[in-house]
Structure 1
């Protein structure tokens, strides 16, 4: 699947938004990928995750034994990618502000984990997820994501394989271009919402 085909899936789902957005990192951007609108459509989600699974199979140097995703954003793409790879899909969720395995999920030191995320921007959630997995004694071999908004700049600590890269400008709140300053900011994501 090409970059344009991936972005077209987002456009058709009404998920490629333009305006002034507050990202989960606190940075501001003129573009937001509202992946929840994509994931509301099972056939669209399947096309994207099947393409990601095929790319992961082609590029991974080790065979994963399990996929782990961070909740909430990574749940659907993690599950759907795992389905196409014939793997179990687990997830970590926040408890006391930290990612942890719950709900009876377990990993062993023999597990080779593939982390699957929806969208990577700064890599913060990815690094926190990987840290929680490493604490179990399992080994994270790589991370896959649908869209890498950093275009390869985010360091998640393991190889990052994205279905596509889509570099979108992001600005510090006190260093906005005039066109963003003129538009009220909205926070469409979920991190930090009360």
Structure 2
């Protein structure tokens, strides 16, 4: 799928939003991709997950034991990638602020893991999730995502395969442009901070 085709999937279901958004990363943007909305349709979610998997080299796909994603945003995408690859899909939670497996999920010692996210902006959640997999006894060998908002600049410490890389500008709290600062802030993400 091309970037235009993926963005059209978002537009068709009202998941490409414009305004002033405080992202889960803490950065601000005039655009927000509501992945939960684009993934709410099972056929669309499957189509996007299959296209995402098609970006991953066979040498990595052949090594994957299981798929892991961080809650909340990565759960649907992780499940659909797991389905596309025929692998179990686990998710990490952070009820106390630190990611870990719960609900009886466990990794076999040395399990090769594909980390799956919906959107990556700064990579903070991904790096925290990758560290959690290591604490749980697994090894993240690559990450895939529906959208890379860093436009290719993020470093996760593992190979990264997004379906699309988008360069919607983001801003630190102290460098928000005046025209964006005049718009009321919406915080649509799943993190409290």
- Offset of 1:151 from its aligned partner? 1.1
Match of 1:48, SS? helix
8 Å contact kept, 2:100–2:136: no
Aligned to 1:99: 99
* Residue 151 of structure 1: aligned partner: 151
Q: Partner of 1:165 in structure 2?
A: 165
Superposed CA RMSD: 1.4
SS at match of 2:31: strand
Q: What are the equivalent positions in structure 2 for 1:101-116 lying under 5 Å apart?
A: 101-116=101-116
Q: 1:59 to 1:146 in 2, by over 3 A?
A: farther
In structure 2, the partner of 1:70 is 70
Q: String of CA shifts for 1:128-187, please: whole Å, max 9, x gaps.
A: 110110012211100000000001111212111101100110112222212102211111
Please report how far the alpha carbon of residue 57 of structure 1 lies from its aligned counterpart in structure 2 after TM superposition.
Answer: 4.8
Question: What TM-score results when the alignment is normalised by the length of structure 1?
Answer: 0.94
What does 1:78-97 align with in structure 2 at a 5 Å threshold?
A: 78-97=78-97
Post-superposition Cα deviations, 1:52-111, rounded to whole Å, max 9, x if no partner, equal 122225473752010000011111000001101111111111131110011111112231
- Structure 1 residue ranges, 4+ long, deviating more than 3 angstroms after superposition: none
**Structure 2 gap ranges (5+):** none
Instruction: Flag structure 1 segments of 5+ consecutive residues without an equivalent.
Output: none
Verify: 1:24 aligned to 2:24, yes or no: yes
Tell me, yes or no, if the aligned pair for 1:62 and 1:141 is still in contact at 8 Å. Answer: no
Q: Distance in 1 between matches of 2:155 and 2:45?
A: 26
1:181 aligns with 2:181: yes
TM-score, with normalisation over the residues of structure 2? 0.95
2:132 match = 132
Q: Secondary structure at the match of 1:95?
A: coil
Cα shift readout 1:1-55 (whole Å, capped 9, x = no counterpart): 1111111111111010111111112211010001111121111111101111222
> Is this contact kept in 1: 2:145–2:162, CA < 8 A?
yes
